[in-house]
């Protein structure tokens, strides 16, 4: 592999890893009880709506949950404890994002496994194609083409 190619692939790898790390890095900057409650409200599904978060719904239930979230964050409950309260009441379906354990882990792991398999498959295919000798036109081939073009 040439030095230039190594640089290109290395740069690409850094870009991909950097993007993934940036995307996966916890973005929560919520520190006050109100901002934590607001962020939790975006994670919970409104129980009597079709596909809205508690933050986006104006139903009575959503309003009650928003008030409850604020009360709990002010009382010092952690985000994990609050999520668990709602899972205990409604089940995992109350979470808009699947959990990263149990069955929910599959949702996160499967795409990574699929990507890894695809990458391995491509690497194997490229290696196989590289091993195949390039076809070169022989003098006989050139003559055949010349005759065909001359008509």
Partner 1 sequence: MKHPARWAALGVAVVVGSLAVVLASQVSTNPQAAEQQSRLVGQTVPRFTVHTFDGQTLSSRSLAGKAVLVNFWNSWCIPCQQELPSLKMFAAEHAGDPSVVLLGILRDDTVGAARPYAQAEGISWALADDPGAALSLDFGTRGQPETYAISPGGLVVGSEYGPASVKNLDTLLAAAQSHP
Beta-bridge mates of residue 95:
44
Residues 6 or more apart whose Cβ sits within 8 Å of residue 41: 53, 54, 55, 62, 65, 66, 69
- Least distance from C-beta 59 to partner 1, angstroms? 7
By CB under 8 A, tell whether 103 contacts partner 1.
yes
Q: How many Cα atoms within 13 Å fall on the side-chain side of residue 127?
A: 6
Out of 13, 110, 119, 143, the only residue in the binding site for partner 1 (CB under 8 A) is: 110
Quote the Cα angle for 102-82-101, to 5°: 10
Query: What is the rounded CA–CA span in Å between residue 145 and residue 94?
Result: 70
Closer to partner 1 by Cβ: residue 110 or 145? 110
Tokens standing for residue 21? 């790390």
- Least distance from C-beta 138 to partner 1, angstroms? 31
- Least distance from C-beta 64 to partner 1, angstroms? 4
Enumerate residues 39-78 that contact partner 1 by CB under 8 A: 47-48, 59-61, 63-65, 67-68
Contact footprint for partner 1 (CB under 8 A): 47-48, 59-61, 63-65, 67-68, 88-91, 93, 102-103, 106, 110, 113-114, 117, 120-121, 124, 128
């Amino acid at each position: 592999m040439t030095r230039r190619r190594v640089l290109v692939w290395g740069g690409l790898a850094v870009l991909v890893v950097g993007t993934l790390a940036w995307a996966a890095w916890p973005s929560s900057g919520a520190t006050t009880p109100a901002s934590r409650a607001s962020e939790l409200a975006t994670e919970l599904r409104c129980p009597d709506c079709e596909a809205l978060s508690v933050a986006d719904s104006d139903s009575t239930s959503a309003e009650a949950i928003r008030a409850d979230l604020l009360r709990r964050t002010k009382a010092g409950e952690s985000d994990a404890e609050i999520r668990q309260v709602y899972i205990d009441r409604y089940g995992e379906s109350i979470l808009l994002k699947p959990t990263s354990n149990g069955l929910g882990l599959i949702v996160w792991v499967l795409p990574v496994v699929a990507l890894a398999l695809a990458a391995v498959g491509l690497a194997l295919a490229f290696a196989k194609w590289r091993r195949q000798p390039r076809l070169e036109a022989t003098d006989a081939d050139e003559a055949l083409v010349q005759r065909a073009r001359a008509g």
